[in-house]
């Protein structure tokens, strides 16, 4: 059986009654070349009737550009999925495709995914600060691949990569002040030391909040400290603090852990928010649907994604993109502010 020959750009031009160059301009979406609307419609109709499929890979390689961007995550969870979704939507509108990979707690898998993305000749790479080490980032930049990091707290300042970080520390400091304003004189951070730099930012913010209370002359807390969610006897320690220093204020690593311990404390007979007031982090659906509803620090996914894409477009030299040109003149490190959404878990 003879395989049917696939239609070519020449066939499309003949069918539409236009030149090959006009078809090429339509396919490449050349905004700098004026074309009548009926011409574009004729070309698109010819493409549809012939079933023409463009070899995008070959076309992009001929221009030394793939219009593909990569993203490397340490794992998939609600924050990462939502952030990647926002970035994908924005880059699609700019004519790019986004490939996303993760390597949860498996460095070798992460290296393989990174190598695969670079083999695809992605035009640029988004990467979470925990998904690759700084020396790998430096090697990628030296090879000429634009790199935009997100939540790369504590990275060396001399790495020439754009960074879009959530200002978690400031939000956590604000949460400490909120708990104090709601009547808590004992305030603890319930952290997760397994989460490395993510946990560190929360602890920095917690310490700053305690310092700001003292600086503002709001009176010292009766007791402050840090407890790890995986610590043996964590629940019993919280019950002791409630009995001795209630009402107890808790800033918790994330909504999942906040919900978990709120449920355990309720089951143990503690009253929320009368005896314990709780602030989670990430403002997930869990915080809204829990009972009582949970105060949480909201993550501005779209705002962070827009900043990351602007920075990437500036590094790619997106012609005519005013926002990209503005971003190129801005700082390499952008801090995204977070907002506390107060609910019943911190009521007076």
Average pLDDT of the chain to the nearest whole number: 84
Task: Return the SS3 of 224.
Answer: strand
Instruction: Provide CATH code, domain 9-54.
Output: 1.10.260.40
Report, as an integer, the average pLDDT of 148-166.
88
Show the beta-strand stretches assigned E in 5-87: 68-73
Report, as an integer, the average pLDDT of 146-175.
91
Binned at pLDDT 50, 70 and 90, residue 31 comes out as low
Report, as an integer, the average pLDDT of 207-216.
88
pLDDT in tens, 232-247: 889 999 999 888 877 9
Q: What is the DSSP letter of 235?
A: H
**Residue 238 to residue 258: CA distance in whole angstroms:** 13
Q: Which among 280, 206, 276 has a CA at the least distance from the CA of 248?
A: 276
Instruction: Give the angle subtended at the CA of 165 by the CAs of 163 and 166, to the nearest 5°.
Output: 165
Q: What is the pLDDT of residue 5?
A: 65
**Residue 95 to residue 74: CA distance in whole angstroms:** 26
Q: How many CB atoms lie within 10 A of CB 248?
A: 26
Report, as an integer, the average pLDDT of 169-174.
97
Contacts of 334 (CB under 8 A, 6+ apart): 162, 163, 164, 165, 307, 311
Class of domain 68-167+302-337: alpha beta
Is pLDDT above 90 for 197?
Answer: no
The two structure tokens encoding residue 18: 């236009």
pLDDT in tens, 61-90: 444 677 889 998 988 888 899 999 999 999
Are 299 and 270 in contact, with CB atoms under 8 Å apart?
Answer: no
**Residue 138 to residue 147: CA distance in whole angstroms:** 9
Q: What is the pLDDT of residue 35?
A: 76
Are 184 and 219 in contact, with CB atoms under 8 Å apart?
Answer: no
Name which residue leads in pLDDT, 185 or 253: 253
Report, as an integer, the average pLDDT of 248-272.
95
Binned at pLDDT 50, 70 and 90, residue 106 comes out as low
**Residue 204 to residue 196: CA distance in whole angstroms:** 12
Q: What is the pLDDT of residue 320?
A: 42
Are 160 and 141 in contact, with CB atoms under 8 Å apart?
Answer: yes
Domain ranges of the chain: 9-54, 68-167+302-337, 168-298+340-346
pLDDT in tens, 39-67: 888 888 888 888 876 655 445 444 467 78
Are 279 and 252 in contact, with CB atoms under 8 Å apart?
Answer: yes
Quick check: do 9-54 and 168-298+340-346 share a fold?
A: no
Give long-range contacts, CB 8 A cutoff, 24+ apart: 216-222.
218/177, 218/180, 219/185, 221/180, 221/184, 221/185, 221/186, 221/187, 222/185, 222/186
DSSP states along 130-178: TSS-HHHHHHHHHTT--EEEES-TT--TTS--EEEEE-HHHHHHHHHHH
Q: How many CB atoms lie within 10 A of CB 33?
A: 12
DSSP states along 243-288: HHHPSEEEEESSHHHHHHHHHHHHHTT--TTTTEEEEEEE--HHHH
Q: Strand order of the sheet with strand 124-128?
A: 97-102, 68-73, 124-128, 147-150, 162-166, 333-336
Are 289 and 302 in contact, with CB atoms under 8 Å apart?
Answer: no
Q: How many CB atoms lie within 10 A of CB 156?
A: 10
Class of domain 168-298+340-346: alpha beta
**Residue 253 to residue 9: CA distance in whole angstroms:** 56
Q: What is the DSSP letter of 72?
A: E
Distances (CA, A) of 76 to 85, 102, 133, 266: 12, 7, 19, 30
Q: What is the pLDDT of residue 319?
A: 40
Q: In the beta sheet, which residues pair with residue 228?
A: 191
Binned at pLDDT 50, 70 and 90, residue 333 comes out as confident
Q: For the CA atoms of the chain, what is the radius of gyration?
A: 26
Report, as an integer, the average pLDDT of 98-113.
74
């Amino acid at each position: 059986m003879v395989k049917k020959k696939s239609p070519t750009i020449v066939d499309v031009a003949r069918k539409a009654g236009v030149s090959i160059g006009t078809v090429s301009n339509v396919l490449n979406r050349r905004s700098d070349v004026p074309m009548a609307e009926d011409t574009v419609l004729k070309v698109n109709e010819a493409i549809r009737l012939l079933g023409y499929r463009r070899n995008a890979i070959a076309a992009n390689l001929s221009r030394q550009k793939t219009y593909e961007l990569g993203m490397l995550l340490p794992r998939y969870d609600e924050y990462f999925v939502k952030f990647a979704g926002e970035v994908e939507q924005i880059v699609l509108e700019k004519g790019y495709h986004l490939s996303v990979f993760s390597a949860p707690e498996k460095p070798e898998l992460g290296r393989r995914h990174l190598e695969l993305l670079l083999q695809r000749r992605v035009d640029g790479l988004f990467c979470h600060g925990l998904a690759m080490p700084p020396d790998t980032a430096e090697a990628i930049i030296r090879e000429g691949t634009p790199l935009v990091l997100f939540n790369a707290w504590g990275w060396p300042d001399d790495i020439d990569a754009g960074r879009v970080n959530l200002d978690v520390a400031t939000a956590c400091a604000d949460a400490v002040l909120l708990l104090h304003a709601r009547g808590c004189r004992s305030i603890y951070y319930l952290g997760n030391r397994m989460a490395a730099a993510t946990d560190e930012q929360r602890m920095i913010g917690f310490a700053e909040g305690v310092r700001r209370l003292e600086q503002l002359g709001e009176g010292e807390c009766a007791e402050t400290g840090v407890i790890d969610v995986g610590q043996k006897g964590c629940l019993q320690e919280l019950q002791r603090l409630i009995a001795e220093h209630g009402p107890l204020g808790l800033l918790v690593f994330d909504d999942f852990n906040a919900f978990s311990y709120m449920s355990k404390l309720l089951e143990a007979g503690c009253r929320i928010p009368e005896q314990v007031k709780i602030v989670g982090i990430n403002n997930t659906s869990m915080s809204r649907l829990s009972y009582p509803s949970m105060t949480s620090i909201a993550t501005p996914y779209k705002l962070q994604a827009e900043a990351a894409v602007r920075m990437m477009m500036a590094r790619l030299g997106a012609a005519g993109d005013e926002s990209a040109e503005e971003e190129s003149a801005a700082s390499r490190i952008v801090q995204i502010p977070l907002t506390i959404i107060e609910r019943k878990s911190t009521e007076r």
